[in-house]
């Protein structure tokens, strides 16, 4: 018995097509699910490894930040060593980088670098006040029998720092959990400054991330499988319709089909060529649009960074010229070299922070911090001081030391630097006699206002707010990009939820930065 005949050929075609398409769809779905699950596990392992490395980097950065503060405080001459230590202990007892204070600082006052009994006393540990001031031993073992104090002291002697994993009581509970801590030796006071994070907190974050990814993968798999099934259904329906149409054609126009078959084949070939050609053209257009958008974004980023780096690079040039001048006169002593090296390091650190700021600019998660307004201004003046002195520009700063703001420190300093740098450039270009820049602040009930004014003859743009538009500049093309004040306004009003205002005063211009409390 012949299975395929002229009468049932269309039905046999649709049956075979359905079987083949169904098999292909199910095979594709099966391999897709398998590959998705395998990729998920690989990505999770990579994420866990990177998350732990990131936690280590955060711990190290937090300890380094505290040591930088201590080194800065050592330069103060109006406080004794004992008072400075007491203030530092109070500070470290109250610093925490997380809301639940599971990452508190703890400090060992080292008596014996080689370890042993009474090798140190604990001077800071908000979690264990019962151990403060008591002698400690490196022979102490945690719940798992690990002599973690002996381990980290060995690293301290060899490298000056150490990462250690050990069991320790968690804050506000009697549970003993695994803790990852970073220890660093502070030679000036013979201290070991440490901070740690409990691994169960890390695992909670990882588990949360895993659940989110699982749900996302599951949703994606379901969506794709539904799309596969929808495609199969559409293909079957279309096949049925085509089959019915074939039946009609075979019954009514069997004689004409053969005569026109060659013509139809040629038409199909032409259509395929035209479709392929149009698809290729669309693909090229899409690539051009993608490249154009990338170049525009890259150009904007490079322009912004160049604008931010112009002044620090000038500062570095000034420092190097001073060193060379002293060297040529055989007057370059070690203290001068040390001082200029530290100035260069501060400028380079600011440049590095600028890169980080631009990289993280559009990231929604950035932490605010409380800081004193006068200290932020002093940080900016450290970068600009040489350029201002070289151009005989007087700086008048009148800020109450008790004024405190809660916002993004790096971005705030970036805005202040932009405004002062622009004021400096205006004073130089206009060749103002007795140039000065005045900086003062006003503490209001709901906000803090920082004022920066100069005697540079004011802003010629009408209205004055036009200077905040992108690419608008009153300088020559080679001297400015018109990005600095635009970015400053975006930072203040979008990120800080504040206001950036400008107005012309008697002899110059006055900028006002309003930061809400």
Q: Give the separation between CA 488 and CA 467, rounded to whole angstroms.
A: 11
Supply φ then ψ for residue 250, to 5 degrees: -65, -40
d(CA 498, CA 511): 13
Q: How large a percentage of the chain has pLDDT more than 70?
A: 84
Q: Identify the weakest region by mean pLDDT among 6-15, 256-265, 356-365, 384-393.
A: 356-365
Measured distance CA(461)–CA(475) in Å, rounded: 12
Mean pLDDT of all residues belonging to the chain: 82
Extended beta strands in 176-318, E state: 176-186, 191-198
pLDDT number for residue 128: 84
Q: Are strands 120-124 and 105-110 parallel, antiparallel or unpaired?
A: antiparallel
Q: What are phi and psi of 322, to 5 degrees?
A: -65, -45
Average pLDDT over residues 318-334: 90
Distance between CA atoms of residues 460 and 504, nearest Å:
9
- Kindly write down the DSSP assignment for every residue of 372-410, as one continuous string: EHHHHHHHHHHHHHHHHHHTT-EEEEE--TT-EEEE-HH
Highest average pLDDT, of 192-196, 307-311, 381-385, 462-466, comes from 192-196
Reported as a single tens digit per residue, the pLDDT across 331-379 is 889 999 999 999 999 889 878 876 765 565 444 446 789 999 999 999 8
pLDDT of residue 361: 41
Per DSSP, the three-state class of 514 is: strand
398 vs 304: which has the higher pLDDT: 398
d(CA 417, CA 511): 12
pLDDT at 297 over 50: no
Higher pLDDT, 329 or 242: 329
List the beta bridge partners of residue 107: 124, 193
Query: What percentage of the chain has pLDDT greater than the value 90?
Result: 32
Tell me the C-alpha distance between 317 and 502, whole Å.
32
Strands, DSSP E only, in 170-284?
A: 176-186, 191-198
Q: What pLDDT is recorded for position 263?
A: 72
* pLDDT bucket at 126, cuts 50 / 70 / 90: confident
Check residue 307 and give its pLDDT.
56
pLDDT value of residue 403 = 95
Q: Residue 239 — pLDDT band, cuts 50, 70, 90?
A: confident
pLDDT (0 to 100) of residue 478? 45
Helix, strand, or coil (residue 360): coil
pLDDT confidence of 481, banded at 50, 70, 90? low
Going across the sheet that includes 191-198, the strands are: 135-136, 120-124, 105-110, 191-198, 176-186, 161-169
Residue 266 has pLDDT above 60, yes or no: yes
Query: What confidence score (pLDDT) does residue 359 get?
Result: 60
Using one digit for the tens of pLDDT, what is the confidence trace for 423-448? 998 999 999 999 999 999 999 989 99
pLDDT at residue 512 is higher than 70: yes
pLDDT tier at 149, thresholds 50, 70, 90: very high
Task: Please state, in angstroms and rounded to a whole number, the distance separating the CA atoms of residues 122 and 199.
Answer: 23
Give the range with max mean pLDDT: 66-70, 297-301, 386-390: 66-70
- Bigger pLDDT: 228 or 301? 228
Residue 101: per-residue pLDDT? 52
């Amino acid at each position: 018995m012949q299975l395929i005949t002229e009468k049932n050929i269309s039905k046999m075609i649709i049956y075979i097509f359905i079987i083949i398409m169904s098999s292909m769809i199910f095979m594709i779905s099966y391999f897709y699910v398998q590959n998705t699950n395998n990729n998920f596990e690989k990505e999770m392992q990579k994420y866990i490894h990177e998350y732990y490395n990131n936690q280590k980097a955060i711990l190290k950065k937090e300890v380094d930040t505290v040591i930088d503060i201590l080194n800065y405080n050592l330069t103060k001459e109006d406080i004794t060593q004992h008072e400075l230590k007491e203030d530092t202990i109070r500070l470290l007892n109250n610093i925490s980088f997380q809301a639940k204070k599971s990452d508190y600082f703890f400090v060992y006052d080292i008596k014996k670098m080689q370890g042993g009994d009474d090798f140190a006393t604990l001077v800071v540990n908000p979690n264990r006040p019962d151990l403060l001031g008591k002698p400690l031993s490196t022979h102490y073992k945690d719940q798992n029998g690990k002599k973690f104090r002996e381990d980290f002291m060995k690293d301290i002697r060899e490298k000056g720092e150490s990462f250690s994993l050990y069991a320790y009581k968690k804050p506000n509970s009697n549970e003993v959990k695994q803790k990852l801590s970073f220890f660093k030796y502070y030679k000036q006071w013979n201290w070991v400054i440490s901070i740690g994070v409990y691994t169960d907190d890390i695992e909670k974050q990882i588990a949360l991330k895993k659940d989110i990814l699982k749900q996302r993968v599951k949703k994606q798999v379901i969506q794709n499988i539904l799309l596969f099934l929808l495609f199969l259904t559409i293909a079957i329906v279309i096949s049925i319709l085509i089959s019915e149409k074939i039946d009609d054609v075979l019954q009514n126009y069997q004689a004409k089909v053969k005569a026109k078959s060659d013509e139809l084949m040629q038409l199909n070939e032409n259509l395929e060529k035209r479709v392929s050609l149009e698809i290729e053209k669309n693909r090229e257009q899409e690539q051009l649009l993608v490249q154009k958008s990338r170049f525009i974004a890259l150009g904007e980023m490079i322009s912004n960074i160049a604008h931010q780096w112009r002044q620090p690079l000038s500062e570095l040039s000034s420092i190097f010229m001073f060193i060379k001048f002293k060297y040529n006169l055989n007057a370059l002593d070690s203290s001068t070299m040390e001082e200029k090296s530290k100035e260069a390091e501060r400028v380079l650190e600011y440049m590095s922070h600028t890169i980080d700021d631009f990289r993280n600019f559009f990231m929604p998660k950035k932490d605010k911090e409380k800081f004193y307004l006068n200290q932020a201004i002093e940080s900016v003046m450290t970068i600009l001081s040489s350029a201002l002195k070289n151009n005989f520009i007087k700086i008048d700063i009148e800020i109450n030391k008790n004024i405190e703001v809660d916002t993004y420190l790096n971005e705030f300093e970036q805005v202040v630097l932009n405004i002062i740098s622009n004021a400096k450039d205006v004073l130089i270009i206009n060749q103002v006699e007795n140039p000065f820049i005045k900086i003062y602040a006003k503490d209001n009930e709901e906000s803090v206002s920082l004022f920066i004014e100069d005697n540079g003859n004011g802003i010629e743009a009408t209205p004055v707010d036009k200077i905040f538009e992108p690419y608008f500049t009153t300088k020559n093309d080679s001297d400015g990009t018109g990005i600095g004040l635009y970015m400053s306004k975006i930072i203040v009003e979008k990120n800080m939820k504040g206001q950036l205002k400008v107005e012309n005063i008697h002899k110059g211009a006055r900028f006002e930065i309003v930061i809400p409390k």
